Amino acid sequence: MITKGNFILMEVGEFRSWLASQKVTRTITKLQVHHTWRPNYSTRGGQDHFACLEGMRRSHLANDWSGTGQNITVFEDGRIAISLDRNINSTPAGIKGANTGALCMEIIGNFDKGGDSMTGAQKQSVTHVYACLADKLNIPVDTSHIVYHAWYTASGLFLGDYVPGKSSKTCPGTNFWGNGNTRAAANKGFIPAIQQEMSRLNGEGEDEVMKEQLNKLAKRVAELEEASKRVPAPKWFVSEFGSSDLGGKISEPEFTQEGWRVLAVGLRVSK
């Protein structure tokens, strides 16, 4: 995790614990989905991640926005950036007229038809980010709460679907996720991918806790079994009292380790 300028850049594996440490102070009920269109895979080239982020910030400031428009950015290599000038407790500038109560995620690339084809690493990171956010913020994973920019008009009216001519933009792209930017497309590929990641996250956690508890229990049972095992007289008993059956006074002398100790204490007292 690297903090530089106005951003934190992290690996996908660092996101969940980072998010867990965040205190959310506003009500967030919607997760927006955007592509950057520009920058995209072609313009990125070997450009430094921070240079790219600061470039987006500068162009957003030039719109007279108070800072970077998005709260979170997902790069083509799967790395995730957090905007410090638009932290998760700040209302984003993602969809004009529909930003209150929303969190804005920008996915680097141009996912219109004929544009970029999303890398596996970016897909994985994107599903992870949305699943972690939905989990943390208790947001249902459906198309009423995880919304494409294209489902809104230019004034922020929710159309509920991509409607060419009425939608303000094609964002996150007419070939987003390989399915397109309609509500049906989201229900086909993107939403199920997030749901799958969400159950992986939750299932994994439960499995680990369960495994740990079971192992503790098994260890305790083994200890109890060991302690209750009857054994022949220990060497110390034989050397102290001359024999294990006290010269034939007790038949079949087999006790637990604790039993032999109790017997020895009794014998010493009666001596």
Footprint of Zn ion (CB under 5 A):
34, 149, 171
Tell me how far CA of residue 212 lies from CA of 12, 53, 218, 221, 228, in angstroms.
26, 42, 10, 14, 25
CB of 169 to Zn ion, least distance (A): 6
Q: Which is nearer to Zn ion, 174 or 260 (CB)?
A: 174
Q: Which is nearer to Zn ion, 127 or 168 (CB)?
A: 168
Q: Which is nearer to Zn ion, 151 or 260 (CB)?
A: 151
CB of 7 to Zn ion, least distance (A): 19
CB of 132 to Zn ion, least distance (A): 21
Q: Which is nearer to Zn ion, 112 or 135 (CB)?
A: 112
55, 39 contact by CB (below 8 A) = yes
Residue type, 15: F
HSE at residue 131, side-chain half, CA atoms within 13 A, is: 23
Phi, psi (5° rounding) for residue 152? Answer: -120, 150
With left for phi above 0 and alpha for psi between -120 and 50, is residue 5 left, alpha or beta?
left
**Tokens at residue 129, please?**
């980010």
The DSSP H or E segment spanning 103 is strand 102-107
CB of 168 to Zn ion, least distance (A): 8
Q: Which is nearer to Zn ion, 34 or 49 (CB)?
A: 34
CB of 205 to Zn ion, least distance (A): 32
